[in-house]
């Protein structure tokens, strides 16, 4: 049994139609519900919910405060490698892009650690492409061993691994694994991922199951917003989360909201998600699931980020570099995506404090394996 | 008002506080001072002993404030015991709020692991205050293994739903030989008063204060509410009567 069994019973077009046929009556029912179901979530992400945005934001803000308090957890991504055997038509690291490839050595990792630590971070996210011959589980084990003495909380966002490998990394002190399905539209997925191990849709779809079975503390899910209809994709993601929560009840979950902007030219403009819609999506997730962590990266603009944490976001990266070695070297030509919010971590923390929220740097301890 | 004694320590205040969820450590400090609380719990996982970015502890350095480290984040007895030892060493106190919740969604305490850990930790000399379900049998079992107090929940943590477990809390209070501190779910000062009126020895509050519009004012309200409830308990509340008292009682013929 894995999520595939549930996924295969769902039809994309039917789901999409159901979302687009939701009415304001459905939205109002969802807003008033004591416990909101996946059907309510459908209503809240539907076009019919757009006029209720302020009401959703108010509710989302209250619910988030109740659970998470007036706090924002900060973390830094650290890119270990941009080597990649996959072709992902939207990604800067794509195999067919002629960029300089780099995988950090042990001493380079240590240099990066110093820089990130110096900014105040205690939670770190390690990121790579997919290059199984060089950036494999033994590489990750080594990286975690180097990083562990310096950070309380380590997450990874790398290629999907086997359950056994996740188990090994957990033993080394890994806390969480982020793996985004990108899109739950199986055929479109094939178009966007024509080559490499990543082109196997089902293997990726079942990755959170393998992470759950290995007993990691947290699993991060997400959709690359803009690859397909964001509403339908997000509904599938919510369904995935719901299944995982019921199956791996000892695991925590987080959701991220990476979006492709129309200017990047890789996706049709009508599928892109605008600011208002992104706020609607964030609030809809919060209204439906009070406990899930909602995470926001520096892809988003300063003004968007400065306002969004009051509406439901609980976790943010800051001062990010998205190229391997980016914190300790000046060269920035190898970025995975362009950073929109370029402020330092300290500046972002000051903004959070100025809005009467507390920036939290440490919320885990190595004691807990 | 009677003083509260837990293990070897006396408390004037029966209001205990949590330190999470505040908009800043400075506000948290103001709240603690305004509440006159003498026991505040701090999550070990939030304390950074190497860097001073969070400076949580700096704001709690007042002579009347006792720290109660908690093991939030522990999923089983083994992790909790390890964390407890670390907390004892780092914070120089053998007081411990034992929290073991393997379920990260509702943070429901694990009765089996909690009992196991309490027994171990009591042997190691800790003053253990376990966070538990409102389970009267578990409370007696914890007493047997050396707990210094019990901390049953009023409703799910952070829910502000009040004393949903009141029937079980009353049994616990009736049976308990150690102080009963009602933890989790207390959403308003009236909930705290109610808890004290039914005979709880103290309450622990966090979300209701931290997330209110004015945490400092809310702390003052809780301080008064706890006091009022305790005084009412000591004065013995008049019984609530469901029926009118008949003017010709059934036993009048005996006179």
pLDDT tens for chain A, 369 residues: list them: 899 999 999 999 999 999 999 999 999 999 999 899 999 999 999 999 999 999 999 999 999 999 999 999 999 999 999 989 888 888 888 888 888 888 999 999 999 999 999 999 999 999 999 999 999 999 999 999 999 999 999 999 999 999 999 999 999 999 999 999 999 999 999 999 998 899 999 999 999 999 999 999 999 999 999 999 999 999 999 999 999 999 999 999 999 999 986 555 566 667 889 999 999 999 999 999 999 999 999 989 999 999 999 999 999 999 999 889 999 886 655 666 678 889 999 999 999 999 999 999 999 988 887
Mean pLDDT (chain B, rounded):
92
Give the pLDDT confidence score for residue A201 in this predicted structure. Answer: 96
B 179-238 residues with CB < 8 A to A: 207, 210-211
Instruction: Kindly determine whether residue B47 and residue A252, on different chains, have CB atoms separated by under 8 Å.
Output: no
Please give the domain boundaries of chain A with CATH numbers for all domains.
3-360 (3.20.20.70)
Decide: B199 and B173 in contact? Cβ < 8 Å: yes
Decide: B8 and B125 in contact? Cβ < 8 Å: no
SS3 B7: coil
What average pLDDT score do residues B219-246 get?
Answer: 87
How far away is chain A from the Cα of B5, in angstroms, using its nearest Cα?
A: 31
Q: Which of A66, A152, A251 sits opposite B211 (nearest CB)?
A: A66
Give dist(CA A354, CA A312) in Å, integer.
17
Within 8 A of B102 by CB-CB distance, chain A residues are 249-250
Decide: A50 and A280 in contact? Cβ < 8 Å: yes
SS3 A153: strand
ipTM: 0.78
Instruction: Kindly determine whether residue B207 and residue A66, on different chains, have CB atoms separated by under 8 Å.
Output: yes
The response to whether B184 counts as a known ligand-binding position is yes
Q: Which of A252, A291, A363 sits opposite B46 (nearest CB)?
A: A363
Give the pLDDT confidence score for residue B249 in this predicted structure. Answer: 77
Tell me, yes or no, if B97 is annotated catalytic: yes
> What topology is assigned to B4-237 in CATH?
TIM Barrel (3.20.20)
Residue ranges per domain, chain B? Answer: 4-237
**Whose CA is closest to A294, among A305, A344, A275?**
A305
State the residue for tokens 């004015």: B214
State the residue for tokens 């390890």: B82
Cα-Cα end-to-end distance for chain A: 27
pLDDT digits (tens, 9 = 90+) for B143-170: 999 999 999 999 998 888 999 999 999 9
Judged by a CB distance cut-off of 8 A, whether residue A5 touches chain B is no
Instruction: Kindly determine whether residue A358 and residue B24, on different chains, have CB atoms separated by under 8 Å.
Output: yes
Confidence band (pLDDT; 50, 70, 90) for B53? low
pLDDT digits (tens, 9 = 90+) for B185-231: 999 999 999 999 999 999 999 999 999 999 999 999 999 999 999 99
The response to whether B23 counts as a known ligand-binding position is no
Give the pLDDT confidence score for residue B102 in this predicted structure. Answer: 93
Chain A nearest-CA residue for B26: A358
Give the pLDDT confidence score for residue B251 in this predicted structure. Answer: 79
Distances (CA, A) of A96 to A88, A104, A194, B64: 9, 21, 11, 65
Give every strand in the sheet of B66-70, ordered side by side: B151-152, B127-132, B95-98, B66-70, B39-43, B15-18, B202-205, B181-183
What average pLDDT score do residues B136-145 get?
Answer: 96
Within 8 A of A353 by CB-CB distance, chain B residues are 24
Catalytic residue among B3, B21, B97, B105: B97
State the residue for tokens 């599938």: A236
pLDDT digits (tens, 9 = 90+) for B1-18: 788 999 989 999 999 999
Instruction: Kindly determine whether residue B45 and residue A363, on different chains, have CB atoms separated by under 8 Å.
Output: yes
Judged by a CB distance cut-off of 8 A, whether residue B86 touches chain A is yes
State the residue for tokens 């959070």: A352
Give dist(CA A364, CA B89) in Å, integer.
18
Instruction: Kindly determine whether residue A250 and residue B86, on different chains, have CB atoms separated by under 8 Å.
Output: no
């Amino acid at each position: 049994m894995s999520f595939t069994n549930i996924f295969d019973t769902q039809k994309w077009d039917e789901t999409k139609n159901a979302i687009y046929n939701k009415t304001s009556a459905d939205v109002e029912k969802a807003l008033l519900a004591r416990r909101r179901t996946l059907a309510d979530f459908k209503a809240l992400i539907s076009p019919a919910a757009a006029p209720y945005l302020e009401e959703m934001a108010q509710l989302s803000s209250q619910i988030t405060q109740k659970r998470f308090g007036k706090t924002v957890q900060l973390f830094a991504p650290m890119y270990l490698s941009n080597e990649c055997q996959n072709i992902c038509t939207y990604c800067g690291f794509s195999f067919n892009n002629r960029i300089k490839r780099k995988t950090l050595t042990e001493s380079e990792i240590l240099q990066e650690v110093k820089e990130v630590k110096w900014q105040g971070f205690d939670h770190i996210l390690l990121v790579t492409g997919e290059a199984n011959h060089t950036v494999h589980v033994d590489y990750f084990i080594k990286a975690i061993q180097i990083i562990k003495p310096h950070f309380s909380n380590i997450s990874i966002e790398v290629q999907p691994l086997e359950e056994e490998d996740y188990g090994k990394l957990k033993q080394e002190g890994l806390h969480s694994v982020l793996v985004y399905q990108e899109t739950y539209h199986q055929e479109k997925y094939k178009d966007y991922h024509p080559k490499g191990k990543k082109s196997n849709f089902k293997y990726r779809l079942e990755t959170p199951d393998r992470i759950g079975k290995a007993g990691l503390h947290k699993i991060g899910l997400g959709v690359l917003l803009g690859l397909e209809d964001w509403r339908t994709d997000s509904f599938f993601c919510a369904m995935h989360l719901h299944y995982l929560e019921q199956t791996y009840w000892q695991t925590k979950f987080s959701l991220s909201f990476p979006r492709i902007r129309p200017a990047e030219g890789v996706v049709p403009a009508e599928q892109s998600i605008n600011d208002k819609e992104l706020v609607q999506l964030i609030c809809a997730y919060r209204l439906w699931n009070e406990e899930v962590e909602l995470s926001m990266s520096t892809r988003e603009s300063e003004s968007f980020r400065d306002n969004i944490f009051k509406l439901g976001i609980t976790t943010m990266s800051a001062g990010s570099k998205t190229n391997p070695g980016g914190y300790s070297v000046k060269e920035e030509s190898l970025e995975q995506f362009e950073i929109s919010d370029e402020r330092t971590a300290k500046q972002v923390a000051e903004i959070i404090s100025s809005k009467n929220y507390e920036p939290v740097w440490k919320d885990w301890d190595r004691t807990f394996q | 008002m009677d003083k509260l004694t837990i293990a070897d320590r006396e408390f004037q205040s029966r209001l205990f506080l949590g330190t999470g969820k505040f908009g800043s450590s400075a506000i948290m400090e103001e709240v603690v001072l305004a509440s006159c609380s003498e026991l505040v719990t701090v999550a070990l996982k939030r304390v950074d002993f190497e860097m001073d970015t969070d400076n949580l502890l700096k704001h709690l350095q007042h002579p009347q404030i006792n720290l109660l480290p908690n093991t939030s984040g522990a999923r089983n007895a083994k992790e909790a015991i390890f964390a407890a030892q670390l907390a004892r060493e780092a914070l120089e106190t053998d007081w411990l709020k034992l929290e073991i919740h393997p379920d990260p969604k509702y943070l429901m305490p694990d009765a089996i692991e909690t009992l196991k850990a309490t027994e171990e930790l009591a042997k190691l000399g800790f003053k253990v205050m376990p966070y538990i379900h409102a389970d009267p049998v578990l409370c007696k079992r914890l007493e047997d293994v050396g707990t210094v107090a019990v901390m049953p929940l009023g409703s799910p943590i952070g829910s502000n739903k009040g004393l949903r477990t009141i029937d079980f809390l009353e049994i616990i209070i009736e049976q308990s030989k150690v102080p009963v501190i009602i933890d989790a779910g207390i959403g308003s000062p009236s909930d705290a008063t109610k808890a004290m009126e039914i005979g709880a020895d103290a309450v622990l509050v966090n979300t209701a204060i931290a997330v209110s519009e004015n945490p400092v004012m809310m702390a003052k309200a809780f301080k008064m509410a706890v006091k009022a409830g305790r005084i009412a308990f000591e004065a013995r509340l008049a019984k609530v009567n469901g029926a009118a008292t008949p003017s010709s009682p059934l036993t009048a013929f005996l006179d």
